[in-house]
Structure 1
Amino acid sequence: MPLPKPRTIINRKALIARLDDLTVTNRDGGRPAGPQARAALLGELRTALAEGREEIRRRFLDEGCRGAEVCAANTYLMDQIIRVLHDYTVTHLFPRQNRTKGERLCVLALGGYGRGEMLPFSDVDLMFLLPFKATPYTEQVVETILYVLWDMGLKVGHSTRSVDECIKQARADMTIRTSLLEARYLLGERALFQEMTHRLYVRVIAGSGPEFLDSKMAERDQRHTRMGDSRYVLEPNIKEGKGGLRDLHTLFWIARYLYSVSDMNELIGLGVLTPRSARKFAKARAFLWSVRAHLHYLSGRAEERLTFDVQPRIAERMNYTDRPGARGVERFMRHYFLVARDVGNLTRILLSVLEAQQKRRPMLSVPSFILRRRDLEGFVLDGQRLAVPQPDTFANDPLAMLRIFLVAHEQSLDIHPDTLRLITDNLARVKGLRSDPEANALFMALLTHRKEPDTILRLMSEAGVVGRFIPEFERVTAQMQYDMYHVYTTDEHTIRAIGILHRIETGALSDQLPVATEVIHKVSSRRALYVAVLLHDIAKGRGGDHSELGAEVAQELCPRLGLTDEETETVAWLVLHHLAMSRIAFKRDVDDRKTIEDFAELVQSPERLLLLAVLTSADIMAVGPGIWNNWKGGLLRDLYRRTEEFLVGDMVPEPQDCRVGARKDQLRGALSDCPADRVEDYLGRGYPGYWLSFDTETQARHARLIFAAEDSGETPDAIVMVDAQVDPARGVTEILVYAPDHPGLFSKIAGGIALAGGSILNARIFTLANSMALDTFTVQTAEGGVLDSPSRLDRVKAVVTEAVRGGIDLRAELARKSRTLPARARAFPVPPRVIIHEVASKTHTVVEVNGRDRPGFLFAVTDALTGLNLQIASARVNTYGERVVDVFYLKDVFGMKVTHHGKLRELKRTLTLAAGVQALESEKGAAVARQHGRAARRRAEKADDAERAAE
């Protein structure tokens, strides 16, 4: 492309003149002095490079030029730098009046530099081409050029080869062949470049097109697998990821290899690309170039990953503004994912034409006698792939656009890329199918297919059919969810959830999801379940509660899909409440009967409980790798079992004293080898809540550990016993702490665990009759794995012991640790929020604290609760990407539920402040929280006095 005002980027003539002047100044005995001349050369080139880059940056950021112009300008700048450097080297540093034939030299640009895709921090790939082996003279010249470029701070990839070596290595190595394919002449002996190019095409490329094509496709597939094999990951690699620039490079390499073109538009005249496809290629490349340029400038390095922390800044720079229901960054990322989808479509189209023109045998080979037996319902086979008999098939029979997917899926055939292109060209006709009962029946058959429905739905979605058939799905196609919890776009998450639902049904996930696998075959409406999974996030991005809005969509859409009134009501209810089961399981104490009563009142029937359990499991597992774990599975399993018992009438409450007595009798049996009087003394220490919260095996372990601590010789007020028990079935570790109870003990333990690298999921707090605390913390690693390394367990026990004894300044240490919070986490401001659920429990005040996850968050919150003289009975901790949600069951200092509105207001204000002190960044911040806690405590005491006076 023509570059406007190139001399404002670099004035080569003026640069050469300055270098000539410096050469005269630095002459020594008629020749330029070596060190002085090199230093002067380096200084001038550095200045020219810096000034040129700044001018390009100014044009891009201030004048709004596009990424293509940035690439062209950086390429031009580097070309001039290298030409000046070469000319100065051969003219002044190593002058040679008459060079021999063996001293001829040609410099070529390779890679992105060869393609003209230079960005500020791109590598400079050079090849020094020689007629024969290197001579001392050419070695001096090449070495000087490279050393100066390195001293300028450039990352230079280089090779020095003769023409014969190029051809020999190109035959043996496909990577070298590809790099030579896009080599660009820079300077020197052009005849060498022409000779190398001619021999490359005649002796290497000719006749090897199918081999090159297969190699590049295999290379692409391996790269996609390595990068996650999805173009819809929320932090994509714009160069190497699926649908990124490297996919476009691959198409260009293939076109250049097979047709010797230098531009993709040349393929139009050859019948390989339509003008529309060529425009899509150019638009996709231009968009990705602009994004990559912004990414380089923002990162200050050759960064290719579009991370969360840079996405909003690039969106702002590219003028994506906020709109109702969609932030600017979400609109930008949606555009990115749609471009990535276009790149995938272009790949299919190009490969289809190449296959036809190159007469390549399709990769999938199916015996003809098998194909003859298949009923293709009017479609035909082209290269053993399903195709339409005529180009106007879809125009005459729009229903065939749905039917062909069903036939292909049932017959295990690929759809020919030309046919997929025809579908894309006829998408406008899909709108007329929405009210067609036969079309809706076909769609339901695809959605509920017994064989991997997600694979065919994904293909339909990428072809645009699902979005046109269900307009609400088009609104969430390529829609990102801007947080660190979700990994995929909304449409990709939905299709993955359908795939997981199918795998649950086939039993493939029985180890991870035993309950869902067991109950899915008990549901009465399989169709309703699949439709509910399809629609559970259908209303995201509309600016309201997506569950409520999605239920409205379900009420309208389900009858059209052929569902009965009963099925429609079920789907709408599931969409409305698809988050309810996970919220209750992860935030509420399922040992509290009120929790089970409330949830049972919501679901009302065993059928809905079954459906919701399966939907919840599929939804969570589809969020992304590592989101589902055995701990979450156990919580959902407990909630399901207890609610099931309640609904069928098996959860008949036995008198508490009978249940406690039975537990004590069981423990007596488990401790029969211990002195009877010691066992009876221990049985007298626990309150009913303790006996009903753990099984006999756990209680026996507690007792033996406590006996050992008491036999250690320590005085009761000095005992601090910390034990760790790994539970591989749930994927967690239980940290048990036995120590004298005192205000702030919970926060000290929580701070110690955080400091040692653990992440608390759950906590149960008990004070025994001897005033000793017996606290159990369920812990994982900060990364969500099992904390089972002996060294890490020893560290946790040591740090928690020291923290409980007061030997660690937890505020200072956690403040230091919090400063290491990664930039991607800081990109998500999470305002603190405190919710008091006054009716969630009959015996406790339930408080939910939301804030940005950071080391010591739980410590800060529990420290504030200590300042308010509140007792923590249990806690649930959940992390959703950058957001942490802690739920506490609280009582006041007298063991009563907090109900006074003044106290509740103070509680909410104090916890909001504690949650909002960003990562305890300073002692001042922590001091403010403590001071606020003391003030709140004084106000609460005054309120108590006023109440008593009023009474």
Structure 2
Amino acid sequence: MRPTTLPASLDGLRLRAELSAATRDGWDKPANRQLAMTRLKRYLEKGRALARTRLTGPEGGLEAARTWSGVMNAALRALFDSITSDYTDDPLDGLALCALGGYGAGELAPQSDIDLVFLTSDTPPDFAQAIIEQTQYAIWDSGLQIGGGAVRTLDEAIALAQDDLSERTALLDLRSVSGDIRLVRQMHTRFDEDIRIKNDAEFAAAKLAERDERVDRQGDSRYAVEPNIKDGKGALRDLQTLRWLAQILYGDDALERWVVAGLFSIDDVKRYLSAADFFWTVRFHLHALAGRKDDRLTFDLQPEIARHMGFEDTDDQLGVEAFMRSYFLKAIDVGALTRLVCAKLEAEELKDPPGGRFLPADGSASETELAERGFTLHAGRLDFADPQAPETDPVMMLRLFEKAAARHLDLHPDAVAAISRGLRQIDDRFRTDPRAARSFFAVLMDADDPRIILRAMTEAGLLGAYIPEFGDIVARTQFNMYHRFTVDEHTLNALGLLRLLEQGKLNADHPLASKLAPEILHRRALHLAVLLHDTGKGKGDQCVEGGENARQVCPRLGLDDHETDLVAWLIENHLEMSDVAQRRDLSDPRTVLDFAQKVGTMDRLNLLTILTVVDIRAVGPGVWNGWKAQLLRDLYQATAAVLRGGERRDEAEARARLEERAALARNHFQEALSRIDPEFTQIWTEVLDHSYWLAFGEDDRFRHAAFARAAFERGQATSVGVRTDKRRSATEVMVLTPDRHGLFADIAGALSKQGANVVGAQVTTTSDGRAFDVFYVQEQGGRPFGWSDSYIQDRLRDSVQDAAEHGLPEEDALAALKPLRRREAAFTVTPSVTLDLEASDTALVIEATGRDRPGLLHALAKTLSDIGLSLEAARIDGYGERAVDTFYVTEKGGKPSGDARLVGIKVQLMNVLSDAEDAVAMHRAKQGLVATPASAGR
């Protein structure tokens, strides 16, 4: 531990004198104890304030942690000595107060537990137990939390350390606070002799296994956007693990010794200290803002910490996004240092060779064949035969990764260090070298798992240097609740999913994409489109900017104009299919016609479908679900019907194909059901228009007919059916009832009141004046609503039935509103309303974007009803904290028209969205949250 000098106002001897004066006639008297605690608390508060002054911008965290540790040393020493003085004036024998863990190492966060142990001799003084109890009570009374506080003899401590890894780790940093220093020295000697020297290999292996378990609990990716600053992958605990390993192997945690021992280079030490300093700075601010021991860097705290650390908004990036990017770049450095230490341990046979940490080991690697190509194996890891190779022939850097991918070999840290030195050789000539392109495409298109090898290239700095456009998104974050990983990690996950599709390993989850993947004609273009699809983020319109990037990158990699145009088109339109599927009425011929016009060919449709699937799926857990999968399949099939036989020639022909598709569906339905109930079949087919037959599949149509037929037979004017639709991963709610104004809004409100999240709705008005509305609802986690409890679905059905028959009382609509959680309130969502008169032949299409909240769909639909508009269809889409609700509306059977009328519609809806955001702003002010706009881009 580096000593910390405290100012005179925080002198420990002065505090001891104050405590002794307060308790001159004994610590056991309440009044004395209360006075002593007041002085101790005042001292600690001054110490916290002093530690905070060490923080300057993104630095100072290590100094703050050491300062607070120094303050704690002085406080506990003064407390212990003052209590001891009640029992003896002689030097204390047989009892020592010791620091453990991070506190023992001299680094302490403001709200962390104080790890202590009381060491005793085999025959401690008679008053030892009294001193220990009074010290423990005083620490608790002062508001500090003790981690441990156990009482142990030397033999007991050693025995526990031999059997328990955490105890062994804690003793590594054992340090005397006060009391019998000889006991502490004896403990150090016995620990070295009985444990450290004898068990170094076992300890190293155990610590790495412990780390792997911890990472599994936290989540394997170091790029999750709400990381744990202490236990997350690449965070403080990983740095501590490196220090512990160095201590157990070399017996000294001084960084100079690490360099001398060959564990780290000087540059490695600088990276270690820089990461530690940054993380400790974040942790200090995090504890101060949370007011408790909380190490998760949640959305609501990120903006405030970014502001404290000097990260400001710019035209290109929010300050909070710049802050989080710095965080993830430090996490990358820690990951590189961890791999380096693992390799050193393997070389010294203190750890098993790689077998899954990077790539699955492949024993088929021929050293002769590797040597012929300029490589060699060191302790099972791939290295350059000539350390200067990256500088004399930079293409060797890409060939190294190509060979690692082909042979399933991990990289030796010396090779990674050589790449670091060779990066300065990467220039435009290298980026246009056909040899480099061949090696790069071998990795991109042939690696069994491109995520692993491309991530290693990224962390080594090579991928970003070779393709600077990709380098711009490395460690970049988007401040919203939709994206779960950094932009580059999302991209690499998408490439991994693409490979799994090609390998036929996702047939159950993605049957359509899995069927299309082997048939793709332009495989290289698809892989490049996935790699580059998000490189435009942070530069304006991400699709346009990403397309421009592709037009720069592809020619450098040797693609001709046609293939370059295809890659650029895919990137420019990579959000189009998901937007149409989730925000537009797929039963409206205009939707399909316009999308088919944009796509143009079946080849492009197939490519765009696969790109859309892997893009959505790679956003994070829970984002992809059966509902989205079915929408994409529906859009694909409808568009394929239009494009059948080649490029679409004209709209009349395409519209005829859709009408033919609807007619075939109607005729097949009639043929199948006429034999069962010809009268009902005739009525049901006559009252439903073309849009119904285009909107639903065959299974849906037969199920709907059975529901309607049962209602007719019972003579029910209003009937509601609820069932779990496993294919869509949603609960289907069918409502057949006389049509009336405001019906959709009332049903939406009833669903919201029960806690159901509406993900889609299809509105059908029959020619005889009835409404047949189908809603799809989910729980918040993305599962079908009430999937595990039929009673919940029964209650939902009763609520919808009552709302359809009698309307929704205002108090029920208000009951659906719930206060926002603190994380959600951290974002400022800018409301917007767009009106489109061209997106549908028969209706005005309204897209309303605002904060996602319970009751939003009801509020918007009710407003539309109140201003005299009829709802023909609705689509509900969401991106974390942001909802995008789309409505198809008519007025007196046609599209609303007139500038004044359209402006009035927009104003009314904006009032609904803005009122919600104003309420959140008031909540945010009460909570003391920084107002930060959410990133809207996807």
Q: Secondary structure at the match of 1:763?
A: strand
1:41 is matched with: 36
300 and 370 in structure 1: CA distance in 2 versus 1, 3 angstrom threshold: closer
Assess if the C-alpha contact under 8 Å between 1:604 and 1:647 holds in 2: yes
In the alignment, structure 1 residue 423 sits paired with structure 2 residue 419: yes
TM-score by length of 1: 0.90
Higher mean C-alpha deviation, range 569-578 or range 782-791: 782-791
Aligned mates of 1:367, 1:119 — CA distance in 2: 44
807 and 155 in structure 1: CA distance in 2 versus 1, 3 angstrom threshold: farther
2:627 is matched with: 631
2:222 is matched with: 231
Aligned mates of 1:695, 1:574 — CA distance in 2: 29
Amino acid at match of 1:611: L
1:799 is matched with: 799
Aligned match for 1:567, one of 563, 569, 586:
563
Aligned mates of 1:483, 1:366 — CA distance in 2: 38
**Which entry has the higher C-alpha Rg, 1 or 2?**
1
In the alignment, structure 1 residue 126 sits paired with structure 2 residue 116: yes
Q: How far apart are 1:322 and its partner, in Å?
A: 1.8
1:469 is matched with: 466
Higher mean C-alpha deviation, range 219-228 or range 330-339: 219-228
Aligned match for 1:388, one of 384, 389, 392:
384
User: 1:516-915 counterparts in 2 under 5 A?
Assistant: 516-542=513-539, 544-649=540-645, 653=656, 663=666, 666-667=669-670, 670=673, 686=688, 689-690=691-692, 693-694=695-696, 698-699=700-701, 701-702=703-704, 704-706=706-708, 716=717, 719=718, 721-768=719-766, 771-787=769-785, 788-789=787-788, 790-804=790-804, 809-810=809-810, 812=811, 815=814, 818-892=817-891, 894-915=892-913
2:648 is matched with: none
2:374 is matched with: 378
Aligned mates of 1:368, 1:447 — CA distance in 2: 23
Amino acid at match of 1:327: L
921 and 353 in structure 1: CA distance in 2 versus 1, 3 angstrom threshold: closer
Q: Deviations over 1:521-550 (max 9, x none)?
A: 2222111111111111112112x1121122
2:929 is matched with: none
32 and 115 in structure 1: CA distance in 2 versus 1, 3 angstrom threshold: closer
User: 1:72-471 counterparts in 2 under 5 A?
Assistant: 72-92=66-86, 95-96=87-88, 104-132=94-122, 137-157=127-147, 158-356=149-347, 362-364=353-355, 371-372=366-367, 374-376=369-371, 377-431=373-427, 432-471=429-468
Q: Secondary structure at the match of 1:653?
A: helix
Aligned mates of 1:368, 1:785 — CA distance in 2: 44
Q: How far apart are 1:459 and its partner, in Å?
A: 0.8
Q: How far apart are 1:291 and its partner, in Å?
A: 0.8
Amino acid at match of 1:488: F
Aligned mates of 2:332, 2:288 — CA distance in 1: 26
Amino acid at match of 2:529: A
Aligned mates of 1:642, 1:213 — CA distance in 2: 59
Identity of aligned residues (%): 37
204 and 849 in structure 1: CA distance in 2 versus 1, 3 angstrom threshold: same
Aligned mates of 1:100, 1:91 — CA distance in 2: 9
653 and 382 in structure 1: CA distance in 2 versus 1, 3 angstrom threshold: same
Assess if the C-alpha contact under 8 Å between 1:687 and 1:768 holds in 2: yes
Assess if the C-alpha contact under 8 Å between 2:354 and 2:361 holds in 1: no
Amino acid at match of 1:114: G
Aligned mates of 2:165, 2:189 — CA distance in 1: 18
In the alignment, structure 1 residue 50 sits paired with structure 2 residue 49: no
Higher mean C-alpha deviation, range 644-653 or range 631-640: 644-653
Q: How far apart are 1:133 and its partner, in Å?
A: 6.9
Q: How far apart are 1:7 and its partner, in Å?
A: 3.3
- Which structure exhibits the higher relative contact order, with contacts defined as CA atoms closer than 8 Å and separated by 6 or more residues? 2
Unaligned 5+ residue runs, structure 1? Answer: 926-951
710 and 615 in structure 1: CA distance in 2 versus 1, 3 angstrom threshold: closer
Assess if the C-alpha contact under 8 Å between 1:818 and 1:921 holds in 2: no
Q: Deviations over 1:314-350 (max 9, x none)?
A: 1111111222211111111111111111111122223
Aligned mates of 1:728, 1:648 — CA distance in 2: 30
Amino acid at match of 1:794: D
Assess if the C-alpha contact under 8 Å between 1:814 and 1:920 holds in 2: no
Assess if the C-alpha contact under 8 Å between 1:110 and 1:184 holds in 2: yes
Q: How far apart are 1:221 and its partner, in Å?
A: 1.7
419 and 875 in structure 1: CA distance in 2 versus 1, 3 angstrom threshold: same
1:945 is matched with: none
Aligned mates of 2:600, 2:269 — CA distance in 1: 57
Aligned mates of 1:837, 1:499 — CA distance in 2: 38
Aligned mates of 1:44, 1:761 — CA distance in 2: 59
Amino acid at match of 1:193: V
Higher mean C-alpha deviation, range 171-180 or range 783-792: 783-792
776 and 503 in structure 1: CA distance in 2 versus 1, 3 angstrom threshold: same
349 and 887 in structure 1: CA distance in 2 versus 1, 3 angstrom threshold: same
594 and 32 in structure 1: CA distance in 2 versus 1, 3 angstrom threshold: closer
Q: How far apart are 1:4 and its partner, in Å?
A: 5.6
Assess if the C-alpha contact under 8 Å between 2:204 and 2:351 holds in 1: no
Q: Secondary structure at the match of 1:448?
A: helix
Q: How far apart are 1:695 and its partner, in Å?
A: 5.4
Assess if the C-alpha contact under 8 Å between 2:757 and 2:777 holds in 1: yes
Amino acid at match of 1:775: D
Q: Secondary structure at the match of 1:402?
A: helix
Higher mean C-alpha deviation, range 562-571 or range 197-206: 562-571
381 and 713 in structure 1: CA distance in 2 versus 1, 3 angstrom threshold: closer
Aligned mates of 1:599, 1:692 — CA distance in 2: 15
Higher mean C-alpha deviation, range 784-793 or range 355-364: 355-364
Q: Deviations over 1:840-899 (max 9, x none)?
A: 11111111111111111111111110111111111110111111111111111x221223
Amino acid at match of 1:6: P
Assess if the C-alpha contact under 8 Å between 1:109 and 1:126 holds in 2: yes
Aligned mates of 1:235, 1:610 — CA distance in 2: 35
Assess if the C-alpha contact under 8 Å between 1:550 and 1:576 holds in 2: yes
100 and 592 in structure 1: CA distance in 2 versus 1, 3 angstrom threshold: closer
Q: Secondary structure at the match of 1:308?
A: coil
Assess if the C-alpha contact under 8 Å between 1:631 and 1:731 holds in 2: yes
Assess if the C-alpha contact under 8 Å between 2:835 and 2:846 holds in 1: yes
Higher mean C-alpha deviation, range 59-68 or range 883-892: 59-68
Q: How far apart are 1:700 and its partner, in Å?
A: 5.2
Assess if the C-alpha contact under 8 Å between 1:856 and 1:919 holds in 2: no
Assess if the C-alpha contact under 8 Å between 2:230 and 2:237 holds in 1: yes
Q: Secondary structure at the match of 1:215?
A: helix
Assess if the C-alpha contact under 8 Å between 2:732 and 2:776 holds in 1: yes
Amino acid at match of 1:663: R
Higher mean C-alpha deviation, range 509-518 or range 781-790: 781-790
Assess if the C-alpha contact under 8 Å between 1:631 and 1:732 holds in 2: yes
Q: Deviations over 1:689-728 (max 9, x none)?
A: 54664456545544554565567687x5xx4x33212110
Q: Secondary structure at the match of 1:476?
A: coil
Q: Tell me how large the CA RMSD over aligned residues is.
A: 2.9
Amino acid at match of 1:346: L
Assess if the C-alpha contact under 8 Å between 2:97 and 2:119 holds in 1: yes
Across the two proteins, how many residue pairs are aligned to each other? 905
